[in-house]
Every structure is written in C-alpha cells, then in structure tokens.
Structure 1
Amino acid sequence: MGKELNQALFSAADNLRSKMDASEYKNYLLGLIFYKYLSDKMLKKVVELSYEDEALYSTKEKQTELYTSLISNEDTAEDLKATLIDTLGYEIEPDYLFNMLAEKAKLNTFQIDDMKKAFVQLSANFEQFTGLFDDIDLNSNKLGTSPPQRNITITEVIKKLNDIDLLNHEGDVIGDAYEFLIGQFASEAGKKAGEFYTPHMVSDMMAQIVTIGQQDKKIFSVFDPTMGSGSLMLNVRNYLNDRTVIKYHGQELNTTTYNLAKMNLILHDVDAKDINLRNGDTLDRDWPTDEPYTFDAVVMNPPYSAKWSADQTFLDDSRFNRYGRLAPKTKADFAFLLHGYYHLKETGTMAIVLPHGVLFRGAAEGEIRRKLLEDGSIDAVIGVPANLFFGTSIPTTIIILKKNRTNRDVLFIDASHEFTKMKAQNVLTKENVTKIVDAYKGRENIDKFAYLASFEEIKENDYNLNIPRYVDTFEEEEPIDMIEVAKEITSIRQEKKELERNLFQTIKSLETSPENHEWLHSALEVFRHE
C-alpha cells in the first residue's frame, strides 16, 4: 500500500515539478490527498448508515450512486446530512466528491472552478476546515500562464491521485506522503520542505520513551510546541493501552504547516474536542496559559539554533526566570527546551531533539545546563546518527527530561552508529530503536553504548555533557604480528626476483633489428646489474 501511494505521488509530482519547487508542490499534493480522503471516507460512511450490503457497494461508482439517490430523496436527504455532520463533522455534495471531479477529469470536462467551489464549500460550512486549503492556490501562474493551462495541470494531478486507496493505507497517510515527497525530491526541496518533519522511527523512539510508566492513564495529554506536521504527537498514542484517551495540544508558527498538522489529526480520526492547536510563535508569548497548561508528555523537534529576540524582559517570564540567563539570540535551542519543560507535568516525561552544541557550549547555555543538572532535570542524553533528518546532515541528540527525580544521575547512550544507510539518508530500523529504548529502560552501563554518570562525575567535567566524555567507543586495533609481516616481505621479494628473471629471458630471446640492438643490449645490462 505504501508503494502504491508513493508511485501515485511520484507520478502526480511530474505534472508539478517543472513548474515549482518541492516546498510548493507538496502543498497541492497533500491538500488534494486530504480532500480525497474526506470524500472517500464520507462515501464509506453513507454505505454504513444505509445498512446496505457493503460488498454490493465496494466501488466508488456504486457508493456515489447510492449517495446521490439518498441525497435526492426528500424523505432521506435531511436525516442523512444531519447524521453525516454529527458523525464525521462534515458532508460533501455529490458534485464535489473527489471521484466525481476525477471522472470529469477523465472526460476532459473538469473545470478548475469546480475544485475551488469544493474547497470553499468545506471551509465555509465547517469550522474545522477553515483556512486548510488556503495554500492550494489554483489561480497561480505556476500551474500555467492561462486558465486552460492551469486546468490541464490540475486535471492530470487529480486523475493520478484518484485510484489511491487511502482508507486502507496502513500508517500515517499525510506523514508517509510528506516523508516520501521531501525524501524523493530532497535535492530541490532542501531544508525549506523538510524542516517540519521528524522521521518516523525517531518519532517512534521518542513516543515509546515518553509513555513509559504512563500507558494505563485514563486521560493522557501530549504537547508539542513546535508541532510541524503533528506526527510526533500522533505517534504517542501508539504506545497507550487506550488510544482514545489522548488529548492533543500543539503550536506551530508556519501557517502552512499548522494547517498540515490539522489535516493530519483529522485524517487520524481525532475528535475535534480532543484537538487544541494554535498558529503562533512559541517563544514570543507563552501558550497555553489556561488549564491544562502542563502535560503528561512533551515532544519537540524545534528548528535548530534558530534566532529569537532574547529580550531581557524574558528574565521575568516564568518559563525562564529560574535559570538566571537567557538562550543566546542566535541559538534559541535552550529557549525551546525550557518552554517545553515548563509545560511538563510533575509526573511526565519530555523528549526533545537538538544539535549536539547544547551539550557543551558555554556562556549562558552553560549556565542554563548547569542549573538543569543541579535540579536533576536531565534524565538521559541520547546521541543519534548524523544525516537522519531531511534538510540537515548534522548529528543530533535527544534529551530526556523529568521533574521530581530522586537523584541527579544522567544516562548517556551513544547510538550514533545505530542506522542503516539508504540512498540519501541514514535510517533508524525497528531493531535500532528497540536497542536504544531497552538501554534507556535498563539504565545500566553497556560497553561502548551506554553509561550511567553520577552528578559528581558530571560536575567534575564542568557540566559538559558531550557524549564521548562518558561513552568510550574507541576500538583498539589488532596488534601487528611483525614475524608474519617479515615473512610476507620476503615472499614478495622472491616473487619480484622470479618475475624479473622471466622478463630477462623473454627480452633475451627477442629477434631485433640492427637499429634496436643497441637499446636491447642496454636493457639487458640494466637487468643484469639489478
């Protein structure tokens, strides 16, 4: 199923790639996939509500016929619409179903205004879709310099996406599509397209760790203050015994990506009452400030070494004031960390991805790190491989934080060699993740992989958390057997002499012309004296 999705995306992207870069065409593809999912899901719900035999309505054509007949009937139309809105939160008129638009595309009767009206119908009538399709600019000259050209471009894309079976896709549809697009076209997408996505297995590892000991909670809250596509939060529910008890809270500065996260949560059937998202600047103003403002799990993959104001008034901000210093203007890493940590429950766990510099840089960052260590806030430091993340090849670290710990030791895990090398990216496998999570749970020394350092040891190292200071991965070279080396040298010399003898005999036997005789005589003299 993943292969089918990727092939369709690759093919559809062909119609857009020559017209715009990946950071733009991904918006069209992801938006259209989202709309198709809503359309397909509604048709399936219509069959369920009609109590008809699902086997008789397995095709979109049959499902559409049923829906059209029910919606055209005065006795059933009103109740059907009300039930769809009550159960799904929306309804789509027959003319605007994705498969109906695709049918027009196949017949070359599709008009781009049909797609515009479809988006408007959802956005205007149902609050949860407000603004979600704003990034799909169907009037853009990049789709074509004239309306007919733009029409042709979108027609081809719709046709290629229509046959994907999104409802039976195993996994994260938006996340999988997003990861494929930015991975496949990384050379053109670069950081601009990839900075909002945490690779699945990294996300999976973080989700496993933050849920340890909390799997049975009756209500579980997760917070991602730099949520990107929302996949980090969504992965958390995979490790709870009851996936329905989770409440999602997230913030994202980039409006396009904020909309992507909303799409992602809706695609995963998250109830609207369990979603609390904000489009805003995480560092500029604290949020959330109303209940709940602390959470069972905090997961973060913020932009690395980003700039922020570092205004001195932040020293009075309750997120930062206990640490005495602010993160530097050019490196907001600790500002993001402290913001997330402030919103962590006393019983919760936080996992944040950051560049290695936060482990050893001095000045203000050194002071903040010292205070965190003195408070026992840092539970573990995990070094993961370089080139895991789209848009950057730098090695990163995952820092695990807790509150009210009984001691101040820190577990160091060097997982920098735990990966499988793929074409453009290194990839964590399920086995790699299991090894890391098991080491975290065990909290014991493992030769060349994990080390539990006491607070006193860290203090002696001047609060420097650079992983090689604690986990020794040095491999001694095998001792050289000099007797074997001498034997090998003797053997090579003997072989050389034998080759020279053979060459001498060959040259000697050559028939030569008078003009070459002098040269041959000189060559033989050289061999004779060597």
Structure 2
Amino acid sequence: MTQKQHLEQQLWKIADTLRGKMGADDFRDYILGFIFFKYLSTKMHSYANVILEPDGIKYEDIDAKTTEGQTYLAAIRVEAVETLGYFLEPSELFSELAKRGNAEGKSKFILDDLTATLIHIQQSTMGAASEEEFSNLFEDLDLTSSKLGKTENQKNDLIVKVMAHLDEVDFRLDDIKSDVLGDAYEYLIGKFASGAGKKAGEFYTPQEVSKVLAKIVSTGKDKLKSVYDPTCGSGSLLLRVAKEVKEVSKFYGQESNPTTYNLCRMNMIMHDVHYRKFDVKNEDTLEHPQHLDERFEAIVANPPFSADWSASPLFMSDDRFAAYGKLAPSSKADFAFVQHMVHQLDEQGTMACVLPHGVLFRGGAEGHIRQYLIEDKNYLDAVIGLPANIFYGTSIPTCILVLKKLRAASDNILFIDASQHFEKIKTQNVLRDEDISKLVETYRERKEEDKYSHIALIDEVRENDYNLNIPRYVDTFEEEEPVDLAAVANELKSLEKDMLSTDGTIADYCKQLGIETPF
C-alpha cells in the first residue's frame, strides 16, 4: 500500500465517525473543515519552528503570558501572515486543542476555544493581502449545530473524538517532493461526490475527465501563465491542469455556491498553492463575471448542464454576447458559458469544456451561435464524444468542445467518438488510462481512425448545416456477419431429428406410466 493510499484510508475511516450522525453534505463539510484546520496548524507549527531554530526553542514552548513570549509571537505573526497568509498562536494549534479535549483520556469541553480559534484565523488576515482568500473559510463548520448532538456535551464529545483520531494522522508536510495530503483531500472530495447523487455536479468533475481536459489545454506547453475555470466547483479541474505542466503562474476561478467556493479555496491551499497564486470569486459567472479584464492561456470547465439563466436582453450589449446577435435560451445556458469562455480566452490559448450532447445539434439560437463560432470565427477545433453515465448524478452522454482563436488546422474540425471506450465499475462508467491516452493522442496528432475519429473539412460541416452530431462524421456502425443459409438449414434439420428422438423417448415413458402422451 502506498503512502497516499494509507493516508486516504485513515482519513476516510475518521470520516466514518461522523457518518450516520448527519447527511452526506453535512459530514463532508465537517470532516474536510477539520482536516483543513489541522493542515493550517501543522503548516504554522513547522514554519514557526524554522524561525525559532536559531534561538533553540520550539513554538509550543513559548509562554504567551510573558513579555518575552509576546515579543516572539508579535514577530512571528508578521512573518506568518506575509508568508502563509494567516497566524495561529501555540495554544490555538490543532494538536494543542486535541490534547486539551482528550486530557487524561476524558473528554474536556473545548467547543468555545475551538470556535474562538477558527474566528482568530480569519481575523489574523484582516488588512493583509490574504484577507479575501481566507474570508469566511470556516463558515460551514458550525459547531453549534444540533446535527452534532442534542446537548453541548454531546456535540463536544463527538468533536473531541474526531480531533483525537485526526491528531494521530501524520500529514508529512516536510516531504516537499510529495503532494500526498493534497491528493488525499481530493480523494475525499471525490468519495463524497460519488455518494452525493444529483448535487455532485455542483462541486466535482471526475478525475478521469479532468485529466482529459487538462491534457488537451496543456498540449505543447510545459508552463502556463494562467488557467481559468468559470464554474470551478471544488477546484479539481484547475489543480489537475497544474499536474500536466511544470508551472502555472496563476489560477483563476468563479463559483456561485458559497459552500463549494469555500471548498475550492481550501482545496487550493491544501495543494500548497500560495494565496497570491489563486484568485477565486464567489459570484454567478454569467450574471456577475469577476475577471472580465483578464485573458487566459488555458480555460477548462464543466458547467452545470442546461442550467437556467436570465438571458436578459441587456446582455445584447455585453461584449461577451453582442457579436453573436443572439443569446442562449434562458432554459439552456450551455452556449452562454461557451460564449463567456471564448471572450476570456487569450489569442494563443486553448479552452476545453464538457457539455451535454444537445449543444451539438439543437437549433434556434443555439444553432445560430454554433454557426457563428464555426463559420464566422473558425474557433472550433475538436468535438469529442464521451461515454454515458460518466458523471456523478447524471447518466446522460456528454461531449467536450475544444476551441482556439488561432488554429493550426484552420480548414477542418476533428471529431472523436470515445463513447464506447470505458470500463463499467458498479453503476458508473469510468475512463481507463488506456482510454485517456488514446483520446489525447488522437487529439494531439489529429489522427483519423476507422470508427473512432474523423477529420471533417469545414465544407463537410457546412453541408450538414453546422450540425455537429458525432455519428454524422464518425461511422461506428458494425456490419453483422453474413448469414450462411445452408448451415442454418442443416442446423434446423438436425434440430428436427433431435426433437423426433425426444418425442419418442417421452412417448415411451408415458406408455410405461400408463398415461396419454402430451402430443
């Protein structure tokens, strides 16, 4: 078992402490919140000890009641807020609270101290460059909730139990070559998503799909100036792009759900993305875009499928939509997200987004927008069909649209039908490593393969009236083997002989039993 797998099992086992006490969404928020608090504490503890090493003392040994202790803490606070973005006193560290709560093997009351500590973390950032990144991060960790228990003591006992178990887990933050903890955190997010049903689409894109999108937008690059996700959820897509290149200078995202927005920021920090390197906003992307002055080198997205939006006529004067002459329907915002992303895309950039199949063939305003992107702008680079039942909470088949403003293959569009290349695991379809490799290699090399991919000239798409339905371009029809009528006739004769023999045997038995034959 690898270190990462061991840590994942430990954390999931601790999460089970809360399972059954509350709904999946609630215990997700609590366990991920406590893991995040422990991470911040461990990071603070290690950082302070490095600063104090020349003085030969440990952070936990500083006495905050003395003048000397206050001098040390004031100096460390300045350094910590600048470097880490926040500050924790020795008495506020996770390990100290966990020990206090389980002193002498008995549950001691720490809820008030814990609540104060979580508030202090946010307060320590006020007026600092990190204030926005840490604002309200723990607002979903409600220690007063009746979901934790009916009485204050019951709530306290449960929290102490969770913290005691979590305190025993070694996060190994000194292992700078490893992102084990961040990946384990991502693993937990995925586990919660798989059990969250329909709501899962609000915050998580399966890692296999994230890999495909990340590999596509990073094609030919080992560094990216910026990567953006306008519906970033838990941030898994943004973080996946970072795994495909040596460096991402800055991450940008927007998320409308406050809880998911908090989860995204936690996920970024848990993956050791410095607070100055990400800019995530909590707003509705279509109605209140927050990064309109920026242009991004890579854009990835898994927008909510066919979501409602206002489609207000006022948007006809919005630079994101004005040139198209039409807005996406109010009941289907899919193309509104595409238009938004195209507007934000750098001239040298690539965007890849997951959408429902309807965007490929629906008419009306969507057909008009599709034609404009292909005929007037020539931005559409590839259309990729994915297997059905690959996303949590929905079984519909989906596709990936890849768009570029400057295309090397400007006279054609690549179509890939990867819908039959997957493994079924329980009730979910999953892309295997070989499926991902085949898909990405086909895209990067723009290869044609019978029954899998086709390079369609723009004229061919034009002849199809800009309908992008994949079966129009990739013929996956399998001819049935020709029937050998002579062999079938001989088989029928053989069956008839067997039936006559069987009838005779049955008639003999009936005669011996003295009963009539059934035929």
In the superposition, the TM-score normalised over structure 2's length comes to 0.89
C-alpha distance in 1 between matches for 2:507 and 2:99? 83
C-alpha distance in 2 between matches for 1:89 and 1:71? 23
Deviation at 1:5, TM superposition (A): 4.4
C-alpha distance in 1 between matches for 2:391 and 2:170? 28
Deviation at 1:417, TM superposition (A): 1.4
**Structure 2 equivalent of residue 114 of structure 1:** 113
C-alpha distance in 1 between matches for 2:48 and 2:507? 93
Matched, 1:179 2:190: yes
Alignment of 1:142-291 (within 5 A): 142-166=147-171, 167=173, 169=180, 172-183=183-194, 186=195, 189-216=196-223, 220-241=225-246, 243=247, 245-290=248-293
Deviations 1:3-53 (Å, cap 9, x if unpaired)?
Answer: 44444454444443434322222111111111111122333434555559x
**Structure 1 equivalent of residue 88 of structure 2:** 92
Instruction: Identify if the C-alpha distance between structure 1 residues 487 and 351 changes in structure 2 by more than 3 Å, giving closer, same or farther.
Output: same
Runs of 4+ in 1 over 6 A off after TM superposition: none
The one of 53, 56, 60 equivalent to 1:68 is 60
C-alpha distance in 2 between matches for 1:130 and 1:429? 39
The one of 383, 386, 389 equivalent to 1:384 is 386
Tell whether the 8 Å contact from 1:411 to 1:451 is kept in structure 2 after alignment: yes
Matched, 1:411 2:414: yes
Deviations 1:262-302 (Å, cap 9, x if unpaired)?
Answer: 11111122222222221111111333234xx1110111111
C-alpha distance in 1 between matches for 2:346 and 2:443? 20
C-alpha distance in 1 between matches for 2:420 and 2:170? 37
C-alpha distance in 1 between matches for 2:109 and 2:220? 54
Greater CA drift, 104-113 or 456-465: 104-113
Instruction: Identify if the C-alpha distance between structure 1 residues 378 and 112 changes in structure 2 by more than 3 Å, giving closer, same or farther.
Output: same
Deviations 1:287-322 (Å, cap 9, x if unpaired)?
Answer: 3234xx111011111111111111111111100011
Tell whether the 8 Å contact from 2:412 to 2:456 is kept in structure 1 after alignment: yes
Deviations 1:476-499 (Å, cap 9, x if unpaired)?
Answer: 112222233233333333333333
C-alpha distance in 2 between matches for 1:96 and 1:77? 13
Instruction: Identify if the C-alpha distance between structure 1 residues 201 and 161 changes in structure 2 by more than 3 Å, giving closer, same or farther.
Output: same
Deviation at 1:67, TM superposition (A): 2.7
RMSD: 2.4
**Structure 2 equivalent of residue 135 of structure 1:** 140
Instruction: Identify if the C-alpha distance between structure 1 residues 410 and 144 changes in structure 2 by more than 3 Å, giving closer, same or farther.
Output: same
C-alpha distance in 2 between matches for 1:506 and 1:198? 66
Deviation at 1:473, TM superposition (A): 0.8
Tell whether the 8 Å contact from 1:99 to 1:162 is kept in structure 2 after alignment: yes
**Structure 2 equivalent of residue 18 of structure 1:** 20
For residue 90 of structure 1, give the secondary structure of its aligned residue in structure 2.
coil
Tell whether the 8 Å contact from 2:182 to 2:267 is kept in structure 1 after alignment: no
Deviations 1:395-447 (Å, cap 9, x if unpaired)?
Answer: 11110001033524211111111211112321112221111110001113111
Give the gaps of 5 or more residues in structure 1. 53-64, 511-519
Alignment of 1:77-88 (within 5 A): 77-88=73-84
Tell whether the 8 Å contact from 2:62 to 2:90 is kept in structure 1 after alignment: no
Give the gaps of 5 or more residues in structure 2. 126-130
For residue 394 of structure 1, give the secondary structure of its aligned residue in structure 2.
coil
**Structure 2 equivalent of residue 476 of structure 1:** 479
Instruction: Identify if the C-alpha distance between structure 1 residues 335 and 388 changes in structure 2 by more than 3 Å, giving closer, same or farther.
Output: same
C-alpha distance in 2 between matches for 1:51 and 1:83? 15
Deviation at 1:380, TM superposition (A): 0.4
Tell whether the 8 Å contact from 2:48 to 2:59 is kept in structure 1 after alignment: yes
Tell whether the 8 Å contact from 2:4 to 2:183 is kept in structure 1 after alignment: no
Deviation at 1:238, TM superposition (A): 1.7
C-alpha distance in 2 between matches for 1:81 and 1:285? 36
Deviation at 1:341, TM superposition (A): 0.7
Deviations 1:126-176 (Å, cap 9, x if unpaired)?
Answer: 223220000111111222222112222222332343333434626534322
Tell whether the 8 Å contact from 2:292 to 2:344 is kept in structure 1 after alignment: no
**Number of positions where the alignment pairs a residue of Structure 1 with one of Structure 2:** 495
**Structure 2 equivalent of residue 309 of structure 1:** 310
**Structure 2 equivalent of residue 496 of structure 1:** 499
Deviation at 1:455, TM superposition (A): 0.8
Instruction: Identify if the C-alpha distance between structure 1 residues 422 and 282 changes in structure 2 by more than 3 Å, giving closer, same or farther.
Output: same
Structure ID, larger Rg: 1
* Paired letter, 1:101: L
Deviation at 1:83, TM superposition (A): 4.1
The one of 444, 453, 458 equivalent to 2:456 is 453
C-alpha distance in 2 between matches for 1:97 and 1:344? 43
**Structure 1 equivalent of residue 128 of structure 2:** none
C-alpha distance in 2 between matches for 1:501 and 1:42? 90
For residue 16 of structure 1, give the secondary structure of its aligned residue in structure 2.
coil
For residue 303 of structure 1, give the secondary structure of its aligned residue in structure 2.
coil
* Paired letter, 1:284: E
Deviation at 1:371, TM superposition (A): 0.4
Matched, 1:360 2:367: no
C-alpha distance in 1 between matches for 2:59 and 2:182? 28
Tell whether the 8 Å contact from 2:73 to 2:89 is kept in structure 1 after alignment: no
Tell whether the 8 Å contact from 2:321 to 2:339 is kept in structure 1 after alignment: yes
Instruction: Identify if the C-alpha distance between structure 1 residues 490 and 376 changes in structure 2 by more than 3 Å, giving closer, same or farther.
Output: same
C-alpha distance in 1 between matches for 2:63 and 2:384? 56
In the superposition, the TM-score normalised over structure 1's length comes to 0.87
**Structure 2 equivalent of residue 124 of structure 1:** 123
For residue 299 of structure 1, give the secondary structure of its aligned residue in structure 2.
strand
